[in-house]
């Protein structure tokens, strides 16, 4: 890139954009430990947003936001860090790299216009990062790559750029090319030579960082000789993406293409998402003002990444679904903004991170909140007006006040008490609704109980607030097992949820074993007689009924048939018999699980003119069903799920073997895109309680799956006996 002068954003003030063309929204993507947060702090330091390495005025860092993150030493949520460079406001969205918090990554991708993929020279590129790259490729999002951890003993920049070309440039490796080569300083005692500067392949200038700030100089003859082949490949890659069709012929004819033409074509290709440069970066040394490669990164972001004006217009409808014109990035247009993240501040209350796509959002105005709703996850639909509180720009733990947020910008909004992640904010007299972005399904269950009576009183409200903040978490009150279940994306996601319940909402809960919804049914026809006769002085109780029970096909429920003849059971008591049978069926017979898929036929009975009653015949009906169960083999039925697993081709074998070991039956496979296979299977739900974790292990983080209920079917006898024993022991 060209060498622009260092224009730092002033530390300690809010950055307000006055036009969309002066905004860049970039999301950082990469696996946990790749160095994203460290890179954000290095960029903030170089841009002058902080006074010394990563520190803001209160002594914290630009990434300070959540106390849980500090305790865990891991990013667990999306954070926004705005900086300024060359008069351009850059909204940097730092995302967690851990798979459990992929919902935060999805929110960052939604809010950004370009992505910076952070890869570690020491650790390489994991499968999950590659999958996100493919998703960005599918929607044409502009991307660049920055290589970190160059100080590691095993770091090899040349090899890493080659790997980036192979993985990220699978379709065309000439679209993924480094812009700089590293210049190494003297080797240390361990024999490892640190990177001390960069050699610009286009400019043929050396960017020397040994003083702690970038200094440009001409290359020495030996340094210049290093770049010949790499520079030629870079130029050919840029020209191949040029809109000037004659440029390649001129270059191949021997013409020396001028630097401005190459830089302009490079920036246009990056903004279009058709060329993906590779850069490198390292944090600033103690006392330094700039980290290695951070100036070059800021220049690429401001010069090469697209403005919000270059993003496609956003499709919107009215809340009732009727058509409306697409929303363009116009500060004077109708207001269309989206809540991309919801969090709670102990002092301010609920805080919403909002991306404005059209119009201008101002503090203390009333807006319409339209919500798509995720009712299956505990989120209600929204169609109401709310008053916006203060607008602010986050910086670490600080919130710097804004007087407006124009189209293309991001801001934090206070006091939106009802709006949740994914909701649309629009003008109250012109309500609009954006299509929600896809969120991963939470597929790991955690059954919980209140730790004490005091916790029980606060549990419902605490869970509701927790789920409102996180659309990747689902709250279930299972009517069959009577358990409260939190569905999450992984164990770390669960742990953070429980910690937030305890520290933020003052609710202590205990995890208990998660139960699946088992059923019981008859294995063969059986008969039973229920006799309820009591004479203890005064009014007695008398009821006798005889029944026959036979199994029915799956899904039949409990069917009751009356075949009484001759009035042996008076007509008014036949509903009583049915009520008693159904109540007993709901309580279960052998192991305490509901009885299903049977036909119960009332054949005969006896009554007393004085002592028979509704209650007596209910009891007799229940007794008859229990006697019939004592004669027959009661089968335990377990729920079977339809599992839809998508993995790279190389993991199909291990996945199918794993499913077979869980009593799964593979019912089909098919291609699911280049290099990926879809495996469809039926498997007992009791076997996949932790499948969200186990598939991640088997597929090295590259597999995805969905599940849906198929039916109940008989459990193998040995497992059924084990379940009965556990029931008898009360476990």
CB 377 within 8 A of CB 475: yes
Structure-block tokens of residue 525? 């026809």
Same domain, 264 and 246: yes
The answer to whether residues 669 and 689 belong to one domain is yes
Q: What is the pLDDT of residues 276-293, one digit of tens each?
A: 999 999 888 776 788 899
54 pLDDT band (50/70/90 cuts)? very low
Token pair belonging to 297: 């990164």
Task: Characterise 321 by phi-psi region: left (phi > 0), alpha (psi -120 to 50), beta (else).
Answer: left
Contact 396, 374 (CB under 8 A): no
Q: State yes or no: pLDDT of 378 exceeds 60.
A: no
Long-range contacts of 695-698, Cβ-Cβ distance < 8 Å, separation of 24 or more = 695/645, 695/647, 695/655, 695/658, 696/99, 696/490, 698/651, 698/654, 698/655, 698/658
In a domain, 440, yes or no: no
Helix (H) or strand (E) holding 696: helix 691-698
- What does the radius of gyration of the chain's CA atoms come to, in whole angstroms? 33
Q: Which residues pair with 585 in a beta bridge?
A: none
Angle at the Cα of 77 (from 76 to 79), degrees rounded to 5? 130
Rounded average pLDDT over 629-643: 93
**Eight-class DSSP state of 302:** H
Question: What pLDDT does residue 527 have?
Answer: 95
Contact between 514 and 508 under an 8 Å Cβ cutoff? The reply is no
Q: Tell me if 649 is assigned to some domain.
A: yes
Q: Give the model's pLDDT for residue 380.
A: 67
Task: Give φ, ψ of 224 to 5 degrees.
Answer: -65, -35
482 φ/ψ sector (left φ>0, alpha ψ -120 to 50, else beta): left
Which tops the pLDDT comparison, 724 or 26?
26
- The answer on 283 and 151 residing in a single domain is yes
Taking the C-alpha atoms of residue 496 and residue 335, their distance in angstroms, rounded to an integer, is: 35
What is the reported pLDDT for 10? 46
Question: Which of these three, 460, 487, 512, is where a domain ends?
Answer: 512
Alpha carbons 411 and 80: distance in angstroms, whole number: 9
727 pLDDT more than 80: no
First CA to last CA distance, the chain: 67
Q: Which residue has the higher pLDDT, 346 or 597?
A: 597
413 shares a domain with 462: no
| Per-residue confidence (pLDDT) for residue 274, from 0 to 100 | 93
Which 3 state secondary structure label does DSSP give 234? helix
Q: How confident is the model at residue 72 (pLDDT cuts 50, 70, 90)?
A: low
CATH number of the domain at 141, please.
3.40.50.300
Q: Report the run of H or E that residue 585 belongs to, with start and end.
A: helix 574-587
> What is the reported pLDDT for 2?
43
Q: Can you tell me the distance from the alpha carbon of 148 to that of 373, in angstroms, rounded to the nearest whole number?
A: 40
pLDDT of residue 191: 62
Q: Mean pLDDT across the stretch 493-518?
A: 92
Q: In terms of domains, do 429 and 471 share one?
A: no
Q: What is the pLDDT of residue 379?
A: 61
Within-domain flag for 210: yes
Number of domains in the chain: 5
The string over 136-174, giving b where at least 16 C-beta atoms fall within 10 Å of a residue's C-beta and e elsewhere, is: beeeebbbbbbbbbbeeeebebeebbebbbebbbeeebe
Tracing tokens 């919801």 back to the chain, one arrives at 342
Do 352 and 499 lie in one domain? The reply is: no
Residues 251, 102 share a domain? yes
93 part of a folded domain: yes
Residues 48, 188, single domain; the answer is yes
Among 632, 664, 690, identify where a domain stops.
632
Q: What is the pLDDT of residues 427-471, one digit of tens each?
A: 999 999 998 888 888 999 999 999 999 999 899 988 988 888 888
**According to the model, what pLDDT value does residue 67 have?**
57
Which position has the token pair 């007992």?
A: 684
- Taking the CA of residue 280 as centre, how many other CA atoms within 13 Å lie in the half-sphere pointing to its CB? 27
For residues 354 and 135, the model is more confident at: 354
**Pairing relation of β-strands 433-434 and 316-317?**
antiparallel
Of the pLDDT bands very low, low, confident and very high (cuts 50, 70, 90), residue 58 is very low
Over the stretch 192-236, which tens digit does the pLDDT of each residue have? 678 889 999 999 999 999 888 899 999 888 888 888 889 999 999
496: domain CATH number? Answer: 3.30.70.870
CA distances from 406 to 37, 49, 143, 724 (A): 27, 21, 24, 64
Share of the chain above pLDDT 70, in %: 91
In this prediction, residue 51 carries a pLDDT of: 58
Report whether 584 contacts 622 (CB < 8 A): yes
Same-domain status, 150 and 296: yes
pLDDT score for 726: 73
CA–CA distances in Å: residue 151 to residues 144, 148, 180, 281: 21, 8, 17, 10
Residue 585 belongs to a domain with what CATH number? 3.30.230.10
| Average pLDDT across the chain, whole number | 88
pLDDT at 346: 67
Question: In the predicted model, is pLDDT for residue 65 greater than 70?
Answer: no
Could you tell me the residue range of the domain that residue 703 belongs to?
636-729
The reply to whether 339 and 422 lie within a common domain is: yes
Please tell me whether residues 82 and 196 are part of one structural domain. Answer: yes
Least confident of 380-394, 648-662, 684-698: 380-394
The last residue of one of the domains, among 276, 309, 342, is 309
Residue 362 lies in a domain: yes
CA distance 18 to 695: 48
What is the band of 112 on the pLDDT scale with cuts at 50, 70, 90?
very high
pLDDT value of position 722: 84
CATH number of the domain at 712, please.
3.30.70.240
Say if residue 498's pLDDT is above 60: yes
Query: Is residue 493 located within the same domain as residue 579?
Result: no
Residue 269 pLDDT level (bands cut at 50, 70, 90): very high
Cα dihedral sign, 370-376-379-380? positive
Is 8 domain-assigned?
A: no
Instruction: Say which DSSP state 599 is in.
Output: E
Residue 155 has pLDDT above 90, yes or no: no
406, part of any domain: yes
- The residues, ordered by sequence, that sit 6+ positions from 85 with a Cβ below 8 Å of its Cβ are 7, 8, 9, 47, 298, 299, 301, 302
Residue 11 lies in a domain: no
């Amino acid at each position: 890139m060209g060498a622009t002068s260092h224009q730092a954003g002033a530390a300690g003030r809010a950055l307000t954009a006055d036009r969309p063309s002066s905004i860049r929204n970039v999301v950082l993507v990469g696996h946990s430990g790749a160095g994203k947060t460290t890179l954000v702090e290095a960029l903030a330091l170089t841009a002058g947003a902080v006074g010394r390495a990563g520190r803001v005025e209160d002594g914290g860092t630009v990434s300070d936001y959540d106390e849980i993150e500090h305790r865990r030493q891991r990013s667990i949520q999306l954070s926004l860090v705005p900086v300024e460079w060359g008069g351009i406001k850059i909204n940097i969205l730092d995302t967690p790299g851990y798979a459990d918090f992929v919902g935060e990554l999805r929110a960052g991708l939604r809010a950004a216009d370009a992505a910076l993929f952070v890869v570690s020279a020491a650790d390489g590129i994991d499968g999950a990062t590659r999958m996100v790259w493919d998703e960005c490729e599918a929607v044409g999002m502009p991307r660049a790559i920055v290589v970190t951890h160059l100080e590691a003993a095993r770091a090899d920049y040349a090899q890493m750029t080659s790997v980036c070309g192979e993985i990220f440039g699978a379709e065309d490796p000439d679209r993924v090319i480094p812009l700089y080569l590293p210049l190494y300083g003297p080797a240390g005692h361990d024999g490892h030579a640190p990177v001390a500067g960069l050699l610009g392949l286009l400019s043929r200038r050396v960017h020397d960082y040994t003083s702690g700030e970038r200094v440009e100089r001409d290359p020495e003859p030996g340094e210049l000789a290093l770049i010949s082949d790499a520079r030629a490949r870079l130029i050919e890659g840029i020209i191949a993406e040029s809109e000037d069709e004659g440029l390649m012929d001129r270059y191949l004819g021997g013409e020396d293409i001028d630097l401005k033409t190459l830089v302009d074509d490079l920036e246009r290709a990056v903004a279009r998402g058709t060329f993906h440069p590779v850069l490198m970066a390292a944090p600033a040394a103690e006392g330094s003002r700039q980290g290695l490669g951070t100036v070059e990164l800021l220049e690429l972001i401001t010069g090469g990444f697209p403005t919000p004006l270059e993003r496609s217009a956003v499709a919107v409808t009215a809340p009732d679904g009727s058509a409306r014109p697409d929303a363009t990035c116009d500060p004077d247009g109708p207001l269309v903004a989206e809540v991309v993240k919801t969090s709670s501040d102990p002092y301010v209350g609920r805080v919403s991170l909002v991306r404005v796509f059209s119009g201008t959002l101002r503090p203390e105005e009333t807006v319409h909140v339209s919500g798509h709703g995720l009712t299956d996850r505990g989120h209600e639909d929204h169609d109401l007006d709310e008053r916006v509180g203060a607008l602010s720009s986050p910086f670490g733990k600080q919130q710097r006040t804004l007087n407006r947020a124009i189209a293309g910008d991001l801001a934090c909004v206070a006091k939106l008490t009802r709006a949740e992640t994914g909701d649309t904010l629009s003008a109250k007299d012109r309500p609009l609704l954006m299509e929600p972005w896809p969120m991963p399904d939470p597929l790991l269950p955690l059954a919980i109980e209140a730790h004490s009576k005091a916790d029980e009183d606060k549990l419902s409200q605490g869970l509701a607030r927790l789920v409102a903040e996180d659309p990747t978490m689902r709250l279930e009150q299972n009517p069959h097992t009577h358990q409260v279940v939190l569905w999450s994306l992984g164990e770390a996601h669960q742990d953070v949820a429980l910690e937030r319940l305890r520290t933020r909402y003052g609710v202590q809960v205990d995890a208990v074993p998660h139960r699946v919804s088992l059923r019981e049914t008859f294995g063969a026809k059986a008969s039973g007689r229920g006799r309820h006769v009591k004479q203890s002085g005064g009014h007695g109780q008398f009821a006798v009924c005889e029944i026959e029970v036979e199994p029915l096909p799956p899904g039949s429920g409990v069917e009751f048939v009356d075949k009484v003849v001759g009035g042996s059971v008076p007509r008014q008591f036949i509903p009583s018999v049915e009520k008693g049978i159904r109540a007993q069926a709901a309580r279960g017979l052998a192991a305490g699980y509901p009885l299903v898929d049977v036909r119960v036929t009332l054949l005969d009975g006896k009554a007393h003119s004085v002592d028979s009653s509704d209650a007596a015949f209910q009891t007799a009906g229940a007794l008859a069903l229990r006697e019939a169960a004592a004669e027959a083999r009661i089968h335990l039925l377990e729920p079977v799920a339809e599992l839809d697993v998508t993995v790279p081709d190389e993991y199909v074998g291990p996945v199918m073997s794993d499913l077979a070991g869980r009593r799964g039956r593979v019912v089909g496979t098919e291609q699911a895109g280049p290099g990926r296979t879809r495996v469809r299977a039926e498997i007992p739900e009791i076997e996949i309680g932790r499948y969200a974790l186990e598939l991640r292990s088997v597929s090295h983080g590259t597999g995805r799956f969905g599940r849906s209920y198929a039916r109940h079917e008989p459990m193998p006898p040995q497992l059924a006996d084990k379940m009965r024993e556990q029931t008898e022991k009360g476990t």
